[in-house]
Structure 1
Amino acid sequence: MDAGSSGGGSRTLSRGLTVLSALGTDPEGLTVAQLADRTGLDRAVLYRLLTTLCEEGLAVRDNDSLRFRLGVALVALGAGAARGLPVRRHARPGMRALMEQCREAVCLAVRDRDHAVVVDRVEPPGRSARIGYHVGLRHPLDRGAHGKAVLGSLEDGDPALAAFESASPELPNGYAVAEGDLEGGIVGVAAPIREADGTVAASVGIVAPATRLPDAGALGPSVRALADEVSRRLADGESRAGSAARRTEHAGDGAGDGRGTGNAAVPVRPRQT
């Protein structure tokens, strides 16, 4: 086995991703000593990995503080990943409509195992109070309205449930409300979005200062309606994709006898003698 591989994958790549994940936990950056504590990797290994990550723009080094932090190259990668998410495409129009209704930030978060990751946010211009629930933020499912909306909708036996000691939150009205979980003075209300097969893939909702949204639950029905609409759009998109695939398959089956697309049989005129 290659010295740089472990099992079926690359050990070096795995270590590099571990370093990036650690750097992502602290916007101020981490020293090599701190990275060694958090990752368990040898300092010599870390220096080699960090050299490559910096060369590729995935990490940067502050010469004054000797700290490393995530590089701007990851911004482009993250933006590309977010743009490619079907749930973002289907949710965007409704998010804008809900934002116009409530005049507060509307955010979309997708599930990543036992965490939620914010992938989109729309907000009205001119709002003086800013909130920290920004695109790229990653947090456990038991924190915040978006996380709790997903956690409270998981099926029994889902591996993510084992990661949390407390019971999954109840969603009697189909949405979750949370205040101060991730940021003091901030309240959120969110509802789960389901894939075509019924699995919970994401959550969408409103995040705002509690002083501007004293009764967040009052917006719960509107948030739930948006989540249900996005779920329907995802199911319809999956259904159309499946139908198109079946049509293509059937067309290919008939290609040999002239029934396939692009290979129509040409009638042969009888030779005249």
Structure 2
Amino acid sequence: MTPPNEPEGGGSQTLERGLAILVELGRHPEGLNTSQVAAATGFHRSIAHRLLVSLHRTGFAARDDDGRYTVGPVVPGLVGAPGPSLRTVAEPVLQRLARRLDATASLVEAVGSVAVTTLVAEPPTDGPLFWYRKGSRDPLDHGSGGLAALASGPPRAAEPDRVQAIREAGHVITHGEVNPGAHGVAAPLPGWPVRAAINVVTSDPGLAERAIPHVREAAAAIGVPGDHL
């Protein structure tokens, strides 16, 4: 007898349902809410909800403030999007920025409701460092990296008021919002499939102020995907 929730002939029904939802999200770039996903796939709403939560948690789906789901930031890297990935483009830029400022530079990406540090470049000396590790997860609405990542995309309902100001200024500087003693400078990276930002974190407030033009220059060097085809 085939076990519950498993299709005949082997395989996983849960996986197949999750992939079916992902296909529907790909067909609707404007986004679908849970009820619409359920209607499109024929799944019960509770099943669609559970699968969407899992897809969102793992980055395969993104969710906006209105509860609409779209294909998440993980997917383009799996399907071989044309041109180099954001991380490939950003890595040498981060290395140069860390050497120039003698401070930790990182790439921050919005995954679900958190800002995830996906690349880190450490400075060459033991100056006034603030160590920041790859994989760090911080709130999107606090700290330079998360706020700048939000500002890299179009306006969203219920986003913090200062995000639009960051969008217009092209950078943000924060003091101790996520970690005590940390000063962050970040610039949005618009145009990529994921909301992202380049971020510098230091324990030296003077360095943070001096870093602003260098961080903006680094963001310009990363540019948009079409610059690297």
TM-score, normalised with respect to structure 2: 0.59
Rg comparison, structure with higher value: 1
2:201 equivalent to 1:202: no
Task: Compute the displacement of 1:8 (Å).
Answer: 2.0
Q: For residue 208 of structure 1, report the CA deviation from its aligned partner.
A: 0.7
Q: Deviations over 1:154-195 (max 9, x none)?
A: 323x3xx44x5x424322431011111111001110101123
Q: Which residue of 1 aligns with 2:210?
A: 218
Q: Distance in 1 between matches of 2:162 and 2:14?
A: 38
Q: Quick one: higher RCO (CA 8 Å, sep 6+), 1 or 2?
A: 2
Structure 1 position 95, deviation (Å): 1.3
- Residue 9 of structure 1 aligns to a residue whose secondary structure is helix
Change (3 A) 1:93 1:215: closer
Q: Confirm whether residue 236 of structure 1 aligns to residue 227 of structure 2.
A: yes
In 1: Cα distance, 2:222 partner to 2:91 partner? 9
CA spacing shift, 1:151–1:104, aligned 2, 3 Å: same
Cα distance in structure 2, aligned partners of 1:215 and 1:129: 9
CA RMSD of aligned residues (A): 3.4
- The question of whether the paired residues in 2 share the 8 Å contact of 1:152 and 1:168 is answered with no
Question: Structure 1 residue aligned with 2:17, among 5, 8, 12?
Answer: 8
The 5-angstrom pairing of residues 91-240 of structure 1 reads 91-127=90-126, 131-156=130-155, 158=156, 161-162=157-158, 166-169=160-163, 170-171=165-166, 172-195=168-191, 201-209=195-203, 212-214=204-206, 216-232=208-224, 234-237=225-228, 240=229
User: How far apart, in 1, do the equivalents of 2:98 and 2:219 lie?
Assistant: 14
Shift of 1:7: 9.1
The alignment covers a number of residue pairs equal to 163
**Distance change in 2, residues 1:228/1:220 (3 Å):** same
CA contact (8 A) 1:118 1:135 kept: yes
Identity over the aligned pairs, expressed in percent?
25
Aligned residues of 1:178 and 1:188 also touching (Cα < 8 A):
yes
Residue 128 of structure 1: how far off its partner (Å): 6.3
| 2:64 alignment counterpart | none
Task: Find the aligned partners of 2:206 and 2:179 in 1 and give their Cα distance.
Answer: 16
Q: Distance in 1 between matches of 2:128 and 2:107?
A: 20
In 2, the alpha carbon distance for the partners of 1:119 and 1:6 equals: 26
Cα deviation for residue 88 of structure 1 reads 1.4
**Unmatched runs of 5 consecutive residues or more in structure 2:** 7-12, 20-46, 58-76
Q: Secondary structure at the match of 2:134?
A: coil
Relative to structure 1, is the Cα distance of residues 130 and 235 closer, same or farther in structure 2, using a 3 angstrom cutoff?
same
Hey, what's the Cα distance between the residues in 2 that align with 1:8 and 1:110? 27
Secondary structure at the counterpart of residue 8 of structure 1? helix
Within 5 Å, give how 1:42-57 maps onto structure 2: none
Q: CA deviation at 1:117?
A: 0.7
Q: TM-score, normalised by structure 1?
A: 0.50
- Tell me the SS of whatever aligns to 1:194: coil
Aligned counterparts of 1:99 and 1:5: Cα–Cα separation in 2: 44
Task: Determine the C-alpha separation between the residues in 2 that align with 1:215 and 1:125.
Answer: 15
Change (3 A) 1:122 1:133: same
Q: Secondary structure at the match of 1:214?
A: helix
Q: Which residue identity is paired with 1:97?
A: R
Q: 1:116 and 1:103 mapped to 2: Cα distance?
A: 23
Structure 1 unaligned blocks of 5 or more: 22-79, 241-273
